[in-house]
């Protein structure tokens, strides 16, 4: 249509041909790496399948990355892509919501690349992130993805209130199902632990939702080792989501060994240090108004000026390896084990492609040690979160015997 067999054919005729093929039942459209062919298919999707991509999104798709392999997440039967997509920044916390058509294009591109694990939460927006994914999945993608959402962060007068009581758990799940437009959520996490409710009570309600077919697998996010053990005794925990990156390693002492002992998969959020290993010194300048990272201790001037030395050393090693700093930092997470699935977030297709290529970066044990020496605990300046209440350090719950609720 566009190359090798003579001059490019008239675009309207070629789009009409593609449209005719699709209406006749053809679903596999084969193109090549040439930008012209990829853009032609992108134009067709925009005009005739009502998928509205920006021109920049279509052009970025031309740089198609490797296909993402699959992995077993935990020991309960869930299989996902070896790298997922964190969707939070598309609508929340990292500045204003991004253009919906571009975010849907990014999600579709991720799925076409082999990414199946899409990560969202009812608190992102709140609610707008789940609504976005619901719209993206309407294009016949539901059966191709493993949908992960979270509950447990309610808002009272604009302030977060962690909830894990049974009535709230059920209502939150029903709300997420409706916003996502699905009958069942593949992986449903307790986003933050309610320290007023015994974890056994919360997991007990999640177990009922599994039995009712509303969720398939249960997960925890930012939970301590003891809380994970108590939860797992009530119903098998499939995955624990935690912040894990080259400069955030506090889960390695107890939480990760506990997960491995119990056969629980590990989902690493913010594997690029909340953008630190991709943005470097330019990150602070690029943060828009409303970006919560402006309040993060590690990004304050007195800490960031020292932390940037970590990035510079990683960047030097990346040059030697022939990759980018973000790919090197992400590869470090991948090399932690085949039970670890990082979920880097992005709002740009070109950054997504770059992240996927981190899967091909190989590190020797010596290189792993060298990287870790750059970001040792005594070198990193500032806490990872402005409030420890938002982390696993504040996730112990009362004993079950103390529960007087329903």
- Indicate which residues carry an active-site annotation: 124
Distance CA 89, CA 125 (A): 10
CA distances from 320 to 234, 273, 364 (A): 49, 21, 13
SS3 label, residue 264 = coil
DSSP state for residue 8 in the 8-state scheme: P
For residue 358, what are the contacts with CB-CB under 8 A and spacing of at least 6? 83, 323, 326, 327, 328, 330, 331, 334
Q: 301-304 — which CB contacts under 8 Å span 24+ positions? A: 302/381, 303/381, 303/382, 304/381
305: part of which helix (H) or strand (E)?
helix 301-321
Is residue 73 within 8 Å of residue 65, measured between CB atoms? no
Phi, psi of 245 (to 5 degrees): -155, 180
Q: 181-185 — which CB contacts under 8 Å span 24+ positions? A: 181/134, 181/137, 181/138, 182/134, 182/137, 182/142, 182/147, 183/213, 183/214, 184/213, 184/214, 184/215, 184/216, 185/147, 185/148, 185/149, 185/214, 185/215, 185/216
Instruction: Summarize the chain as % helix, strand, coil (round to 5).
Output: 50, 15, 40
Is residue 147 within 8 Å of residue 186, measured between CB atoms? yes
Is residue 177 within 8 Å of residue 151, measured between CB atoms? no
CA distances from 255 to 236, 266, 301, 393 (A): 16, 10, 31, 11
SS3 label, residue 28 = coil
Is residue 215 within 8 Å of residue 183, measured between CB atoms? no
For residue 265, what are the contacts with CB-CB under 8 A and spacing of at least 6? 72, 73, 74, 75, 78, 238, 239, 240, 259, 339, 340, 341
DSSP state for residue 94 in the 8-state scheme: B
């Amino acid at each position: 249509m566009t190359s090798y067999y003579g001059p490019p054919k008239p675009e309207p005729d070629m789009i009409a041909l593609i449209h005719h093929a699709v209406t006749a039942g053809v679903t596999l459209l084969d193109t090549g790496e040439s930008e012209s062919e990829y853009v032609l298919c992108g134009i067709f999707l925009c005009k005739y399948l009502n998928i509205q991509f920006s021109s920049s999104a279509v052009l970025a798709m031309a740089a198609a990355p490797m296909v993402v392999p699959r992995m077993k997440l935990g020991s309960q039967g869930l299989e996902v892509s070896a790298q997922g997509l964190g969707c939070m920044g598309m609508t929340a916390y990292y500045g204003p919501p991004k253009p919906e058509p571009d975010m849907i294009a990014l999600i579709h591109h991720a799925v076409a690349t082999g990414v199946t694990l899409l990560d969202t939460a009812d608190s992102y927006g709140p609610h707008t992130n789940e609504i976005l994914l619901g719209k993206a999945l309407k294009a016949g993608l539901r059966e191709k993805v493993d949908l992960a959402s979270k509950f447990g962060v309610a808002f009272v007068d604009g302030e977060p209130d962690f909830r894990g009581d049974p009535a709230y758990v059920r209502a939150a799940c029903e709300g997420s199902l409706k916003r996502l437009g699905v009958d069942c959520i593949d992986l449903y996490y307790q986003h933050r632990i309610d320290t007023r409710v015994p974890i056994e009570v919360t997991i007990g309600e999640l177990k009922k939702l599994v039995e009712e077919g509303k969720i398939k697998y249960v997960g925890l996010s930012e939970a301590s080792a003891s809380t994970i053990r108590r939860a797992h005794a009530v119903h098998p925990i499939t995955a624990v989501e935690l912040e894990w990156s080259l400069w955030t390693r506090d889960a390695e002492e107890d939480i990760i060994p506990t997960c491995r002992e119990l056969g629980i998969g590990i989902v690493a959020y913010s594997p690029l240090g909340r953008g630190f290993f991709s943005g470097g010194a330019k990150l602070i300048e690029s943060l828009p108004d409303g970006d919560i990272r402006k309040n993060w201790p590690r990004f304050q001037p007195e800490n960031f000026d020292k932390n940037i030395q970590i990035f510079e050393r990683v960047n030097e090693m990346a040059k030697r390896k022939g990759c980018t700093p973000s790919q090197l930092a992400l590869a470090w997470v991948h090399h932690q084990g085949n039970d670890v699935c990082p979920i880097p977030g992005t709002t740009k297709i070109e950054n997504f492609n770059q992240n996927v290529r981190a899967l091909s970066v190989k590190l020797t044990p010596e290189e792993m040690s060298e990287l870790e020496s750059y970001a040792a605990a005594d070198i990193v300046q500032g806490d990872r979160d402005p409030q420890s209440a938002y982390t696993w350090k504040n996730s112990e719950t009362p004993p079950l015997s103390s529960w007087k609720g329903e």
